[in-house]
Amino acid sequence: MLKVGLAQLAVQYDAIAANEQQVTQVVAQAAQAKCQVVVLPEMWRTGYAFQNLQQNSDVNGQATQAFLASLAQRYQIAIVGGSVATRRDGDDYNTMYTFDATGQLLSQYDKVHLFGLMAEDQYLTAGRRPNLFQLQAVPAAGIICYDLRFPEWIRCEMATGAQVLFVVAEWPTQRIQQWQQLLAARAIENQAFVVAVNCVGENPNDQFGGHSLVYDPLGQVVTQLAAQPGFTTATLDLQQVVTVRGGMPVFADRRPELYQG
């Protein structure tokens, strides 16, 4: 069993202190609810304030890592840290950090598929590596927002034996139905839990639609929020993954030698 908390925040545009305050509150709330893991949305620190990256991109992710590690340690809870803008060697990335409940960094992931419709490709550099980690001995994988539209990438991660896929997003309101349908498909095809956290609120050009949710390995809703700020929890019974995978051997039946290009 793994109890997860989903933090659907109203991310404030280019307002780091206000967003850190929200994150502190929601991590405390998740710990109070006895969650083992809390999940934050994409770009929770600044929103898509790319014009201001010179000031607001976190150099080497140092401030974000110190902040999340100290929260994880203080509340003894693992944190799938959504994502933030980071700067390394002069390049900016959309980066997810995951910490265990002692504040140890488990993984660092740069978004692989940059979203041109929000100009990410003009400002950011794409990552190239997968995002795999273990939470309370549960093998898991993580992706960021637009990565969700690339099942081949997600399959690479899930074929390693991951039982839970964490998805963090700033997904616009007008495509929320696609968000739900793509997430359900990823749960069904990978026979895994999908824990997906979106934000709400606005940037100058976009409105974000919430509907953070958990799907079980058959694609059924375990919990789902609406389009307002909120928090919800779900207890994942990992035995369900074993049962569903045992009932239909999708991974064993793959023909990867045919899947070029």
Residues in contact with ligand AKG by the rule CB under 6 A: 115, 118, 145-146, 149, 170-172, 175
Least distance to ligand AKG, CB of residue 256, Å: 26
Residue 143 CA to residue 152 CA, distance in Å, equals 12
Q: Which is nearer to ligand AKG, 14 or 170 (CB)?
A: 170
Alpha-carbon distance of 137 to 66, in angstroms, equals 24
Q: Which of 248, 204, 189, 197 is nearest to 41 (CA)?
A: 197
The one catalytic residue among 35, 42, 120, 157: 42
What secondary structure does DSSP assign to 235-260, as a single string?
A: EE-THHHHHHHHHS-TTTT--GGG--
Q: Give min distance, CB of 202 to ligand AKG, in A.
A: 13
Q: Is 120 an annotated catalytic residue?
A: no
Q: Which of 3, 20, 34, 145 is catalytic?
A: 145
Report residue 44 CA to chain centroid gap: 11
Rounded CA gap, 37 and 5, in Å? 6
Q: Which residue is it, tokens 């600044």?
A: 46
- CB neighbour list of residue 201: distance below 8 Å, 6 or more residues apart: 9, 10, 11, 12, 13, 47, 207, 208, 229
Q: How far is the CB of 88 from ligand AKG (least distance, A)?
A: 20
Q: From the candidates 35, 111, 120, 199, which is the catalytic residue?
A: 111
257 is catalytic: no
Q: Which is nearer to ligand AKG, 75 or 171 (CB)?
A: 171
Q: Does the annotation count 111 as an active-site position?
A: yes
| Number of continuous H segments (helices) and E segments (strands) in the chain | 7, 16
Q: Toward ligand AKG, which CB reaches closer, 47 or 103?
A: 47
- Which residue number, 99 or 146, has a Cβ lying nearer to ligand AKG? 146
User: Which lies closer to ligand AKG via its Cβ, residue 75 or residue 109?
Assistant: 109
Q: Which residues are marked as active site?
A: 42, 111, 145
